[in-house]
Structure 1
């Protein structure tokens, strides 16, 4: 009889616990949705079975069966499908009080032993804000993309002063070479710099004599490189070699970017007294000897700045193209790389027009995300600009409320391009901007972006 009442009491307890579980799950569906309730249900079932095992003695066969059932429960938990990608909703100008969910995480770290559950920070303080991805993206933009106006002004001032000092040195040291006016510029000057005012382009124009030089497409040279152009010396029968001051930099009848780069690298690294100039400007300046590019590192008490010195071809022969000396490898070593940044910036401005500048803001967000993610830093501004331009040409909603959706669309476009290992240039489809990446790099980038597409908040 005692055994009968013991079993009956156990069944009563099981019924009570089962009713509690059902009540918990019924309310969980209202708060967490179906997916969240499923996770909580499996976890609750697992805890219930652990309590049953601790409260009653079972024979060896029953224990094995219970352990197998518990393992199956956690397998079901691991096989649950990830929730669908959240759809951004329009952010309100004056948002109402957000809904708070004081539901503790199943995977929250344990507190100290003996701590009162009621005093737990997760329960005592308000729960996390239930923000949409659009709202999180705008918060990320505010906290990590915007640059203080004072930093922008200081960076421009330092870059302008360095340009004047370098201009004065070139005119005194190379008075026979017709350099144009050195002009600092780049994304910082066009409102396309994200996160920090730490990057400036300084163009050093080479003024070529009209009629003595012509441009040859890179595909028509032995390099067969569509990104580049050769600068050929012409009219040698009327103006023999030596008539132009730039003839001293000829290699095989072409103006060599490699020879000019070597000259300027020596000038920046050994000839100019940067410590004295830096003391006059209130900062430290030193050339970057580790990079093949011509870079000047500037350290001020309020910011750090990198000035990229770019030797550029200008004049009537350039035909609105900007050609820069760049450290290229192989047969293209003496060619000039076509710099597409001015055309990209102009096209972005034209596409945004009188709108709120959503395309520009999308580019800034992508640049900041990739720059802050160690696995995505190989995606340069050039790559991301091309993605934004391709999306920007489409007749879709580019209002501020659609910024989150456009961000996810850009990630999808990047993943598709990485799958094909091809990102055609917007201005020259024959140029594949992913050509310099190896297969392993492409696979790594695609994998990280794919995970980010499933949980986009993880990219921020």
Structure 2
């Protein structure tokens, strides 16, 4: 994204640097010759574009100009990286060699686009089978071990806090839903918080000081008729709201200090320990055949919303994050079932690429799913034979959303799924994906 306009002195310094580049380019032609000078000119032109764009004032009232500047920056960077090397200087011993290679008969013309798509299709399928398959032993052991740990935790909560109406724990995550797991190493353990709807109501986050439609407040109602103490969850109230932060702190103390994990680990043939120095409610599990990370999420399902006790960073501690994960998985599978599509296949490949690539890590999960759901509304051909075409189209859509800095949620267009990304992260992702549009194999290379 374009930066703020620089002071006049800095712009003059940029112009001076451009003049130096012009002088260097003129002298280079004498040394490198015409062809070498042309190659250097391409790279110099790209560098001058970047310098001019960085030092020129920006029209702050024109968002289209800002988007165009970002896209041109990615194009110029791609031009620099694609600049060919200058030809080698001819050696004396090479003079005896023929100047031109022997004439070869022209190769028969082939449909180049079809060949490229077929090659990419094969590479995608090979990448999927070679890198994204989770070992069967992990697929069977990890969920079973997580369920056993969940059962032990459930029994503890019911015996330690019988007055708290916790629902029955259940598992969630890519390993169980089959949309993104590279290994059976992470599972979500969902802990339902059962509320009396007559005593609690939801307040949209966009109606509060945070102005964020993805967060909600859970407000205690009718305190004049049903005073504090009528609900077992009143002990977690801050102001008039059920505090996700206070609930997490209470559960964290239980996980760390109250539960005998060594004994439970011996019972299950594992070593289990809670992560103390973390705001997450997380357990690390070591088994002889799998190492597993289990994250506990208190969850409220109310008024058609699924809310997680994941408050944003900062001073606001009462907020609950709306989760669309269940709706995402259900919608993708529903669309694939209707047309025998390859959306899940494409999503697994993209999730695997983004999770293994440091620059793209934050795109995995929900952002990719929502891009595919948006694309499904306009592209109907999701057959497996079209996997390569849809893969490239998803890359193009991602670059477009990154240019704008906005990825609207498929289920609520007011929510921007890129709102937590930094400008530097968007620039790095955009440049990499812009190059991958013309050379998607870049993303499939081993890291």
TM interval, short-chain normalised: 0.7 to 0.9
Q: Alignment partner of 2:352: what SS?
A: helix
1:363 is aligned to 347
Using the size of structure 1 for normalisation, the TM-score is: 0.71
Q: Alignment partner of 2:217: what SS?
A: strand
1:207 is aligned to 194
Deviation at 1:189, TM superposition (A): 1.8
Structure 2 CA distance for partners of 1:46 and 1:219, relative to 1, 3 Å? closer
2:357 maps to which of 365, 369, 373: 373
1:321 is aligned to 305
| Structure 1 unpaired stretches of 5+ | 1-41, 57-83, 92-131
2:184 is aligned to 197
- Give the Cα separation in 2 of the matches to 1:180 and 1:293: 20
Kept in 2, the 8 Å contact 1:293–1:327? The answer is no
- Give the Cα separation in 2 of the matches to 1:139 and 1:422: 33
1:151 is aligned to 138
- Give the Cα separation in 2 of the matches to 1:324 and 1:90: 42
Provide the aligned length of Structure 1 versus Structure 2. 348
Structure 2 CA distance for partners of 1:55 and 1:438, relative to 1, 3 Å? same
Deviation at 1:404, TM superposition (A): 0.9
Deviation at 1:87, TM superposition (A): 4.9
Deviation at 1:327, TM superposition (A): 3.6
Deviation at 1:151, TM superposition (A): 1.6
Kept in 1, the 8 Å contact 2:300–2:306? The answer is yes
2:258 is aligned to 271
Deviation at 1:176, TM superposition (A): 1.2
Deviation at 1:186, TM superposition (A): 2.3
2:91 is aligned to 50
- Give the Cα separation in 2 of the matches to 1:372 and 1:329: 26
Q: Alignment partner of 2:419: what SS?
A: coil
Q: Alignment partner of 1:296: what SS?
A: strand
- Give the Cα separation in 2 of the matches to 1:46 and 1:206: 71
Kept in 1, the 8 Å contact 2:120–2:388? The answer is yes
1:415 maps to which of 385, 394, 399: 399
RMSD: 2.4
- The question of 1:426 aligning with 2:410 is answered yes
Kept in 1, the 8 Å contact 2:203–2:216? The answer is yes
Tell which structure's C-alpha radius of gyration is larger: 1
- The question of 1:184 aligning with 2:168 is answered no
2:419 maps to which of 431, 435, 438: 435
Kept in 1, the 8 Å contact 2:180–2:365? The answer is no
Structure 2 CA distance for partners of 1:220 and 1:401, relative to 1, 3 Å? same
- The question of 1:133 aligning with 2:120 is answered yes
Structure 2 CA distance for partners of 1:332 and 1:405, relative to 1, 3 Å? farther
